[in-house]
Amino acid sequence: MYHYIYEAFLTDPKFAKQLSAIENRLTDLGIYGSVHRLALFKTMKGTIQDAVRRGAKTVVVVGDDGSVARAIDAIAEFPGVVFGIIPIGDKNSFAKLLGIVDAASACDILSARLVEELDLGKVNKHYFLTSLNISGAVKAECDGRYTVSPENGGEICISNFSMDPAGPGDPRDGRLETMVKTGSKGFFKSVFARARSSSGLSVFPTHNVVVRSPDNAQMTAVADGQSYQDAEFRVEVAPHRLTVIVGKDRAIA
Amino acid sequence: MFKKEEGAAGNETIIANGVKVEGDFSSPGNVRIDGTVIGSVKAEGDLIVTETAVIQADVSAANAVVAGEIKGDIAAVEKLELLGTAKIHGNIACRTLTVEAGAVISGNCQVAQERAAARERTRETKVEAAA
């Protein structure tokens, strides 16, 4: 049975028509199931845990990138549960990455049920699909064998599934790409449009990375748009942790 | 299948100028070093050491092209190419060595062509048998 988790913002009347169309299409396809609506005290994590406890084998999130990121963090605790996405809202880059262009086609993609097993990244206790950016970091210890440090400060980005087609990060290779950029901030946003060899971008294929703050100060890490604060971030790859329904036009970014 | 554009990273490691790596660094693929490495470097693929690179480490790779400075021994399974700006302060071991004018080598150099050596051994055996 399919369990659909509706993001809280979908209570806005402007989504009523679109939701109705989705529900009709799901019914036509014979894959309509149990609906859970998120609210102020009904969190994504608690709802997914509850659904899996009730025997859910397929959990579908109806929402945007923020919904997908929180759902992945929760569903990664239950390997074998299949994850699906129906994108609604303004930001749906994760769905597009998986070949799910819009809500209408998402229903047919769910019905076709083309499943991929993808690696996830794990930072401390949280899972992420795409990448992790750590600001204020000065040194990264990679695979317990060597350390990497930008000599005059820089940024550290750890990629599992690159949003950029030319960027490093394949979610099926069992590795994370640790990237270190010396120089200007905001670099990672446009870096892959340029040649990497002369750009000042270092790339290290790794399995686990530890980033510590030099003076035990709090650092901020942003993974899949979710922010975390800590003095130490332990990042590792979780191979084949996410079983996800994908579209034909999925792209490794 | 997922699609991946040509030229995407794969197993390639890049150590850019301004980045320092300390420890035992190894890579299953190709490595390009523009920055600083202290410790050891092992590349199962090809290694490029550019002019800006400073390496204080023993280095090994399948093939290597060196334009920078290496303080340590360097071993290439196949071919080692030293460009004019290369400075090697250590021993060299490889199967094929190319040295451009201007390169500095301070150490022993061992170039062993296994096929040629094997051919030589075969010839010697035949001569002995004929005698």
pLDDT tens digits, one per residue of A230-239: 999 999 999 9
Cβ contacts from A onto B, under 8 A: 98
**DSSP-derived 3-state class of residue A110:** helix
Residue B1, judged by CB atoms within 10 A of its CB (0-12, 13-18, 19+), counts as exposed
Of A149, A162, A201, the CB nearest to B14: A201
Of B5, B26, B32, the CB nearest to A197: B32
Domains of chain A, start order: 2-113 (3.40.50.10330), 123-239 (2.60.200.40)
Which range, A60-64, A131-135, A185-189, has the best average confidence (pLDDT)? A60-64
Smallest CA–CA distance from A179 into chain B, residue: B14
Chain A residue numbers touching B3 (CB-CB < 8 A): 165, 250-252
- Distance separating alpha carbons of residues A140 and A143, to the nearest angstrom: 10
Instruction: Tell me the mean pLDDT in the region B12-41.
Output: 94
Residue A31 distance to chain B (closest CA, Å): 25
Q: Which of A244-248, B114-118, B123-127 has the lowest mean pLDDT?
A: B114-118
pLDDT tens figures, B40-68: 999 999 999 999 999 999 999 999 999 99
Residue A129 has pLDDT above 80, yes or no: yes
Q: Which of A169-178, A184-193, A221-230 has the lowest mean pLDDT?
A: A184-193
Contact B16 A177 (CB under 8 A): no
Band (pLDDT 50/70/90 cuts) for residue B116 is low
Tell me how far the alpha carbon of residue A44 is from its chain's centroid.
14
Q: What pLDDT sits at residue B10?
A: 58
Cβ under 8 Å to B: A residues 171-210: 171-172, 177, 180-183, 196-197, 199-205
Length of chain B: 131
Residue B127 has pLDDT above 70, yes or no: no
Q: Which two tokens stand for residue A196?
A: 């990497």
